[in-house]
Structure 1
Amino acid sequence: MKRHFDDIQLGSIELFCLAAEEGSFTAAALSAGVTPAAVSRSISRLEERLGTRLFMRTTRSIRLTESGRAYFEQCRQALTQLVEAEREVMGKQLEPAGELRISIPTTYGHHRILPLLPRFRERHPGVRIDVHLSNRNIDFVGEGYDLAIRVRAQPDSTLNARHLEDARLVVIAAPEYLARAGTPTSLDDLAGHDCIQYELPSSGRRISWLFTDNGKEREILATGNYCCSDDVLGGVTLARHGAGLFQTYRFIVEKELEEGSLVEVLPEFGGRSRPFTLLYPHGRHVPLRLRAFIDFLMECTQEWKV
């Protein structure tokens, strides 16, 4: 294989990544044990080699250009792979280590994933976990995430997808609401009830309620005087306090249903679910810490199905 980089060029790439991560030539210099002038010269050599500006510079700050950010993401992944390959060969990374950045929807995070993280770190104490709880779609490359979990994930050739579970849906209400408004016994009865709606933050669309009716799947766009967006737990809280009916995931309200503070409504029309999918970038080396976390989650989904 023909040599493409010399030692100086590889060192310049490392200093460039340090400067991008630290947001400062001075901080990168301190981290690398060199002078700020040496960092500046290294990055200037890279820019000359590439024929493009990597940073926008002012007297007080530096900021990656569009080309610089794209180059940084590729270089960071390449350097990470080199480090991990060296550790594996030397037998030093027998255990997963390093930072794992994950993005999870708020509800799924609170009720499914966050409670599991201490158990994962008991197995792999060398892994640090940075959790992003949000219902928005993230940019894996631009934001540096290793893994995301999403509902109804769309096909994407740049991402690997692993099915986690089909989360069962249930319609709930507080006993005091049912005492006041009556208990619906058919899907047509929903038209006479206050049905709390949920609006998707990505599209502003209000989602339909899903049912099974005589073996056929039905979708109903329920109506009412309340609508929540961004956080499904808002609808659960409203239902708990007697605002109306709400369709949500059973795993969120299992405790309340057992205690009787919430009641399942129209169970004979239930059985529908929505899929949760684990996503991570395709076509790149999968770090040991990410492989370990994926295996751990897949193991946990088997426990949920018991």
Structure 2
Amino acid sequence: MRSSESVPYAAIRLFAEAVELGSLRAVARESGVTPSAVSHRIATLEAWIGAPILDRSVRRPRPTALGRALLDGSAPAFERLDRVAMAVRRASHPGRVVISAPPAIAALRLHPIVSQIDEGLTIELRSANFNAPVEDDPVDLAVRFLHDGPSDMRLGAPGWSAVCAIDQWERIGCPHHVHDLKDVALLHEVVFNFWPDILSGRSEVTPPKFVPFGDALSVFSAVASGYGVALLPREITRLAVERGELVAFQGGNAEPEAAFYVIPTEIGKTRDTAMLLQRRIIDSF
């Protein structure tokens, strides 16, 4: 292919950003160029293709059918390029390891572990959804909450347990079994609520008060503040229970085989420091 026919990758990036941000001005601000420069580069790309790819007749720029085909086809390639570039960049900093994890496990379990590691490593913790695809994450290690993960990468015990703060436990009469709970808020994550299964066969006529929270860290903060009784993954509450800060209820266990796993990404698999850190984390749970 002659240089005059080389694919204008930079212009395709600008085009994708224009569609994503919905504004040529926004792309200009992000790129540090003028809006007219962005418009000119996209026009040059259209001239190279030989047809319009951006519909400018509407207020918010949107792709034409050809433009959508270009976006759908180029996005995976650019994502792959981003991951490769990140891997090469990280390889030049062998002492830096990046981990993504759900906020609760990052704050309550991973941070205490990695803060004790003093081997010339710089460890960065990033927030991620509990079930976000690992292959899309440009990090070294990804911690996820899965129903069926690799057994040699599991962190601690699977399943959930019911817990409450010591002060709350005393206020509600020091019940020892979850079926003894009365007139108390039953907290849980929005996406996970096993309370109905745990409370099946309960004799009270008054229905229990279920209170959903957005994520496990929100639930943990609420239960630690004495707001109610929470149902949480065991590895989120285990240290607090061992320290006597929370009380775990008999009969308050839900047993689905879901647990946290620390999984090396494509980047992490190429790095000895990441793989050693993965083993240190597994051994610390």
Map 1:1-306 onto structure 2 (within 5 A): 5-21=1-17, 24=24, 39-40=41-42, 42-45=44-47, 47-48=49-50, 53=53, 55-57=54-56, 66-77=68-79, 79-80=81-82, 93-95=91-93, 104-113=101-110, 123=121, 131-134=126-129, 138=132, 145-146=137-138, 149-153=143-147, 163-167=153-157, 169-186=160-177, 189-190=179-180, 192=182, 194=184, 196-201=186-191, 206-208=193-195, 219-221=197-199, 224-254=208-238, 256-266=240-250, 274-277=258-261, 286-287=266-267, 295=275, 298-305=278-285
Report the RMSD for the aligned CA atoms in angstroms.
5.2
CA offsets, 1:144-191, max 9 Å, x none? 643654323579xxxx9984424454432333443343444456x346
Superposed displacement of residue 12, structure 1: 0.8
Q: How many positions carry a matched residue from both structures?
A: 263
Instruction: Determine the C-alpha separation between the residues in 2 that align with 1:300 and 1:9.
Output: 51
Secondary structure of 1:228's counterpart equals strand
Q: Secondary structure at the match of 2:74?
A: helix
Instruction: Write the letter of the residue equivalent to 1:131.
Output: R
Return closer, same or farther for 1:107/1:83 CA change in 2, 3 Å cut-off. closer
Q: Distance in 1 between matches of 2:43 and 2:92?
A: 38
TM-score by length of 2: 0.60
Opposite residue 275 of structure 2, the aligned amino acid is D
Aligned 8 A contact 1:13 1:46 in 2: no
Measured at CA, do residues 174 and 163 of structure 1 come closer, stay the same or move farther in structure 2, by a change above 3 Å? same
Give the TM-score normalised by the residue count of structure 1.
0.57
3-state SS in 1 of match to 2:42: helix
Q: CA deviation at 1:198?
A: 1.3
CA distance in 2, matches of 1:150, 1:170: 19
Asked whether the equivalents of residues 162 and 231 of structure 2 are also in contact (C-alpha less than 8 Å), the reply is yes
Q: Which amino acid aligns with 1:67?
A: A
Structure 1: any 5+ residue segments left out of the alignment?
210-218
Q: CA deviation at 1:70?
A: 2.0
How far residue 298 of structure 1 moved from its aligned partner, in angstroms, is 2.1
Using the alignment, how far apart are the partners of 2:170 and 2:224 within structure 1?
Answer: 14
Kindly, what percent of the aligned residue pairs are identical? 14
